[in-house]
Structure 1
């Protein structure tokens, strides 16, 4: 799998302008990163056809620290959401096992959302999705963190979206009073089944709730990238870089997808 010049043209103007005698074009770097993300190999294991692995890594590292791919993701996401009618979003999380190579960094080097849960050392990806192919926002937390508190942090970032009346599909991990009240305060509508021990259970749209699988399908496609299926990055900044990269690639390859 490679990013074609036609697909690259969609985001070319969103990437830093190359100046001077530059050996690697941005498209070449993106395809090298795609190989790393797809196959989960080490930077040093990058095939020779992609050029010097260290040069590719240095540019990717620089882009990660500058938030370059986050800007590209937001631009594509805004364009995608403008073209669809957002009548519901889904909130969920997924756990990612941390490879031994992804541990051991000094805390002073930067945030590391890695924690020990029943599954061992894990990171959780929390995400709000507006469809099976459209991520709205996401965040990271240590594996042992609760879904509801992290979910509320994500929901608070939707204040400026002004999606009045938008349905928020959530599973029972988010059915607490505080989370549902936050959704109502945002002028959105919670669609979440009550726990079986609720004294006063509420009715919810069971047919619409079936669409919560959209965020799960999005997680499934993200985990098709081995660099996301297992966390190899010691610092959040690089893991977030690969998540943004996977979301961008998924969008680019879905342009002509039926």
Structure 2
């Protein structure tokens, strides 16, 4: 499936304006990136009909460095949030296996969100979702990192909601510090206590059943093979693929 001209019109203003004699339009480049994201192929493996693979890779790299895809994701996300009535948000993470090609980033690029856990080299995607199809924000961490600290950082970046919202989390986030931060920001934490808690609390069990929505969103993301496995050495490019997948999914809803 490719992005249509009508769908492209919704984010066209977020992309750099093309000037001069340019062989590949932004729409052609987006559809080439979509092919790589869905099929997980190498850039050199792009079918000839998409044009020169190096041109496409270079343009995506330039967009990633300048934040073009991030802005397009934020623009589309705001439009989706306006269309739906948010009653709750979910916070969760998922692990992504790192392919051997994704390791060994040059030291000049600084530390990357790749770490070794019992399952080998992994990257974690932390995500706040409004429902099974709408991501609000996300971040990366090394695979061995605990969910709670990165979850708190993501909540701080998100900031307080305009009105009290339920914040659905699993037991990885049931610590006092995480729950207190949620309360301070104006969320209503919905998280089950550990069985070892001396004074367990009550929580909205009916609302907690909606935690499956963020899991379904992760399942949709991992339908893109370039996200199911991490091939990118740099966080910058992996984040760009995640943003792009969320953009493509959002455009398909329109």
> Shorter-chain TM-score: what band?
over 0.9
Alpha-carbon distance change, 225 to 37 in structure 1, aligned in 2, over 3 angstroms: same
Query: Deviations along 1:140-199, whole A, 9 cap, x unmatched?
Result: 00000000000000011122x533310000000000000000000001110000000111
Query: Deviations along 1:205-237, whole A, 9 cap, x unmatched?
Result: 111100011110000000000000000000000
Query: Deviations along 1:94-140, whole A, 9 cap, x unmatched?
Result: 00000000001112124410000011000000000011111010000
- Does the CA-based 8 Å contact 1:111-1:235 persist in structure 2? no
In structure 2, what is the Cα distance between the partners aligned to 1:17 and 1:72?
Answer: 14
Give the CA deviation at 1:47.
Answer: 0.6
In structure 1, what is the Cα distance between the partners aligned to 2:207 and 2:161?
Answer: 21
Query: Deviations along 1:46-65, whole A, 9 cap, x unmatched?
Result: 11000111111110110011
* SS of equivalent to 1:22: coil
Structure 2 match to 1:146: 146
Structure 2 match to 1:197: 196
TM-score by length of 2: 0.98
In structure 1, what is the Cα distance between the partners aligned to 2:111 and 2:60?
Answer: 18
Aligned residue runs from structure 1 range 25-36, under 5 A:
25-36=25-36
Structure 2 match to 1:104: 104
Q: Does 1:221 align with 2:220?
A: yes
Structure 1 match to 2:246: 247
Q: Does 1:181 align with 2:180?
A: yes
Give the CA deviation at 1:6.
Answer: 1.2
In structure 2, what is the Cα distance between the partners aligned to 1:180 and 1:164?
Answer: 17
TM-score by length of 1: 0.97
| Alignment coverage as a number of residue pairs | 254
* SS of equivalent to 2:127: strand
In structure 2, what is the Cα distance between the partners aligned to 1:226 and 1:132?
Answer: 19
Q: Does 1:236 align with 2:235?
A: yes
Structure 2 match to 1:15: 15
- Does the CA-based 8 Å contact 1:129-1:137 persist in structure 2? yes
In structure 2, what is the Cα distance between the partners aligned to 1:109 and 1:145?
Answer: 20
In structure 1, what is the Cα distance between the partners aligned to 2:24 and 2:236?
Answer: 23
In structure 2, what is the Cα distance between the partners aligned to 1:68 and 1:111?
Answer: 23
Query: Deviations along 1:57-99, whole A, 9 cap, x unmatched?
Result: 1101100111100000001111111222222000000000000
* SS of equivalent to 1:157: helix
Aligned residue runs from structure 1 range 71-82, under 5 A:
71-82=71-82
Give RMSD over aligned pairs: 0.9
